[in-house]
Amino acid sequence: MSILRILLFPISILYGLITYFRNKLYDFGWFKVTEFDVPIISVGNLSMGGTGKTPHIEYLIRLLNNDNKLATLSRGYGRKTKGFFMADGLTNAQDIGDEPMQFHQKFPKICVAVDANRVEGVNEILSADKTPDLILLDDAFQHRRIKPGFQILLTPFNDLFSDDWVFPTGRLREFTGGKSRADVIVVTKCPEQLSIKKVSEINNKLTIGENQQLFFSKTVYGSIVFGWDKILDFDDLLEYKVLLVTGIANPQPLIKHLKSYDITFKHLKFADHHNFTNDDVLKIDSDFASLGSGKKVVLTTEKDYVRLSTTSIHKSNLMYLPISVDFLNGNKAKFDKKITDYVKQNKRNS
């Protein structure tokens, strides 16, 4: 542990105790908790971002969308609006944030809404003309004022919450005991193959409860790169000079993926959920010009593409590589059944 982390340790203890007693006040009923008679699934984490919430919510949307009227509710991090906001045909990322905008663009038939107050947000959604069959809560594990019917907790393979510590010494939002609120824990961003021994080791490290289930998922990168006016096969990037622009919590998996295919690139890194300014666009344009002539492209993540598309950047140069998730060790069907059974058992009668 570095000297700085040691110096910050007392603050982490204080921060952890404050969140611990806050949680206990909710557990004992001293702070009001609201439940709803519609199925609500929460996807969240103990750490401060970078666990893969967005592709896992998209996985749930694809799983449930055919048989249910869906709504998603997010905080709308980085948006320029306040209060409740429901996406429509004129909405952009500045109205609702990058991740909700991504949901809205990919799944235009579902209700996509944002509100920092999840209770008020759910009430607004349920009062709309088309009431959904179920609601997916994005990043609401610590939002204790609402009680979801089903909680999914995510933790990355290379950064398990059991190996971390409370902020500011580490990146946890609360003590690891908070995991007890989860129905399912998913270890995300796993390698392609996991041995039985490794699975058992992680299960022991996370101390999974008797009423909890542990799953393992991996990131699946798309084989097609999408742009404003063209698409490319991923392998075609070998013929291009690439400027990689990222504004996500952890770009290392993407960097590793590009390097594994021997794709050479220059990386321009911004903070997570970065709102790109005119100066940022000028920097991107300058770095792009420095790549020289010939075939070249600005490659980014889907989330960053959503935000960059609202700037003055030359959209013909901008492309993104989509990602999705899949479950390992043959547990996809088991996970899917766990989710669909919950929805069927708690869905309102039509």
pLDDT at 330: 87
Pairing of strands 150-156, 134-138: unpaired
Domain holding 278, by residue range, is 223-321
CATH number of residue 287's parent domain? 3.40.50
What stretches of the chain show up as alpha helix (H) in DSSP? 3-27, 53-64, 93-96, 98-106, 118-126, 196-206, 252-260, 278-289, 302-308, 332-346
Q: Would 106 be classed as within a structural domain?
A: no
Nearest Cα neighbor of 220 from 74, 49, 56 is 56
Say whether both 339 and 312 belong to one domain: no
Say whether both 53 and 183 belong to one domain: yes
Say whether both 140 and 26 belong to one domain: yes
pLDDT at 273: 84
pLDDT at 350: 54
Q: Would 88 be classed as within a structural domain?
A: no
pLDDT at 1: 55
Say whether both 36 and 178 belong to one domain: yes
Say whether both 314 and 191 belong to one domain: no
Say whether both 210 and 297 belong to one domain: no
Q: Would 100 be classed as within a structural domain?
A: no
Say whether both 234 and 317 belong to one domain: yes
Q: Quote the CA–CA distance of 131 and 259 in Å, as a whole number.
A: 46
Say whether both 181 and 261 belong to one domain: no
Nearest Cα neighbor of 157 from 86, 205, 93 is 205
pLDDT per residue rounded down to tens, the chain (350 residues): 577 777 788 899 999 999 999 999 999 999 999 999 999 999 999 998 789 999 999 999 999 999 999 999 999 988 999 999 999 999 999 999 999 999 999 999 999 999 999 999 999 999 988 899 999 999 999 999 999 999 999 999 999 999 999 999 999 999 999 999 999 999 999 998 899 999 999 999 999 999 999 999 999 999 999 998 899 999 999 999 999 999 998 899 999 999 999 999 999 999 988 889 999 999 999 999 999 888 999 999 999 999 998 888 988 899 999 999 999 988 999 999 999 999 999 987 65
Say whether both 206 and 267 belong to one domain: no
Q: What is the pLDDT of residues 131-155, one digit of tens each?
A: 999 999 999 999 999 999 999 999 9
Say whether both 159 and 268 belong to one domain: no
Task: Say how many domains are in the chain.
Answer: 2
Q: Would 82 be classed as within a structural domain?
A: no
Nearest Cα neighbor of 218 from 156, 304, 300, 152 is 156
Q: Would 89 be classed as within a structural domain?
A: no
> CA quadruple 133, 87, 338, 59: dihedral positive or negative?
positive
Pairing of strands 318-321, 224-227: antiparallel
Residues in Cβ contact with 177 at an 8 Å cutoff, skipping those fewer than 6 apart? 20
The structure tokens listed for 323 are 């990602």
Q: What is the pLDDT of residues 291-327, one digit of tens each?
A: 988 899 999 999 999 999 888 898 889 999 999 999 9
Say whether both 297 and 169 belong to one domain: no
pLDDT at 296: 95
For residue 322, count other CB atoms closer than 10 A to its CB: 18
Say whether both 196 and 266 belong to one domain: no
Q: Quote the CA–CA distance of 161 and 170 in Å, as a whole number.
A: 10
